[in-house]
A and B are shown apart, each in its own frame.
Chain A
Amino acid sequence: MTNNVHDDVEAYALGALDPDEATVFEDHLHTCERCRSELASFAVVRHALDTIELPPPMRLPPAVGRFGGERKFAPWWRNLAVAASLAIVAGGAFAGGVIRGHAEDAPEVAVSGMVAGAVEDFRADRGGAHLRVLVGPHREQTAIVLAGLPTPSAGRGYQVWINGQSPGMLRRARNGVETLILSGDRVSQAYRIGVSDEPAGGSPKRTTPSIIAVYPHARLAS
């Protein structure tokens, strides 16, 4: 609380006083005509702020909103946290593709060689989807790997977006893992790497909400 209770009028008008401070200030208002007058003068600010409309309320998380119905998912937030502790995608799902050795699994072979020596490794898990972004040794390649999503519907595919621009579509292997290999280090300058469901040939702009994303340089701890 400030030493001078008169100085709290602006914060009180904004609703920014701690409860005990607000109580003291309200008691003070009974005896201070100047503060009552000041407080009344800030009504215009409150009314003005009230007219600001924010974007629509947050959409339902994809696991709830998009894939509901036939396919049942665990709560989106739990899946995210569960997967984070399992160290899945590359270590688990990839292995199957490599062992089987299908021709269409070739990207996974490349990725499997990057896992051990990866210099960057970011993961996100959301609503049953698991995204992993790896930068290989010497930063010569970046692998974007997605698992846990259903096969895209006819004419659709999963498209990668880095800072709002797309380097291409993910390619689906028989084991259901989707992969995109890019040359160079695509992570160091990325603030966001995400995936969305788009037309199979790719879209010049993202047309559907992001399914999952990693934020390579964002602290997510308090």
Chain B
Amino acid sequence: MNRGSRGVCTGDKSAAEGFDDRFLVLAVQRRDESAFEALYRRHASAVFAVTVRELGDADLAGELTQLAFIRLWERAATIRVESRVRAWLIMVAHNAAIDVARQRRNTTTLEAAPVTISPDRADDGALKAQRSTAVRAALDALPAEQRQAVEMAYFGGLTQTEIAQILREPLGTVKGRIRLAMRKLRSALGPFQEEFA
């Protein structure tokens, strides 16, 4: 692989931050490291968030997120700049997560990791714990594909068109899942309206 340069974005991290994704992807195609690092800072958290919700394992999710960015560096030339790079990264991590999860299910050496939601701090009191429990229960009660669509949209910042592309599902199917999921969440969380306001 070619060594990268420090400089299309002037080699200055703060300068790279000012460019939009399409410009940064073009710069990465020219092996600009500062552009790559700017994309990492901008999108790693979203890729990680979707992946950790999918796998329930922060270590695995972190590693797959990094691997997705490595693929970005390796395959930047194949990325269409008019596409959103965040969606591309999430798609790579998602595909890897599916395979890892499938393989993990096929083994008996590790228990499935729970979805991680940060515990409430003790001094936040019972109300926050009650809210956290309610949100968790509402999400868990959704069919898996509906929950996935909501989480990809919310945590990954993806549009339903992008979600459909990543999941290789018809757009209408994804729209339906989001519509149903949101209505179910509204019903489940309605009693907590004042607490969440």
A-side residues, CB < 8 A to B, are 2, 7, 10-11, 13-18, 41-45, 47-49, 51-59, 61, 75-78, 80-82, 84-85, 126, 162-165, 189-192, 209-210, 213, 215-222
Contacts and interface: CB of A to CB of B under 8 A. Distances in A.
Contacts of A85: 1
B60 A16 contact: no
17 contacts: A2-B175, A11-B153, A14-B178, A16-B178, A48-B185, A51-B128, A51-B196, A54-B116, A54-B117, A57-B45, A58-B48, A78-B73, A192-B100, A218-B103, A220-B95, A222-B75, A222-B95
Contacts of B186: 41-42, 44-45
B58 interface: yes
Interface residue tally of chain B, by bracket?
A: 35 or more
Contact of B118 (A55, A192, A216): A55
B96 interface: yes
Interface of B: 1, 3-4, 33, 36-37, 40, 44-45, 48-49, 52-53, 58-60, 62-71, 73-75, 88, 91-92, 95-104, 106-107, 109-110, 116-118, 128, 131-132, 134-135, 138, 150, 153-155, 157-161, 163, 175, 178-179, 181-183, 185-186, 189-190, 192-193, 196-197
Contact of A217 (B59, B67, B99): B99
A39 to B, nearest CB: 11
B74 A81 contact: yes
A16 B45 contact: no
Q: Is the interface of B mostly helix, strand, loop or mixed?
A: helix
Contacts, number: 188
B110 A11 contact: no
B33 A75 contact: yes
Contact of A52 (B91, B92, B117, B159): B117
Given A11-B160, A44-B196, A164-B110, A81 B1 contact: yes
B109 A53 contact: no
Contact of B154 (A18, A49, A77, A84): A49
A80 B103 contact: no
Q: Is the interface of A mostly helix, strand, loop or mixed?
A: loop
A81 B71 CA distance: 8
A10 B179 contact: yes
B71 A16 contact: no
Contacts of B103: 189-191, 216-218
Nearest to B174: A16
A210 B134 CA distance: 34
Contacts of B71: 220-222
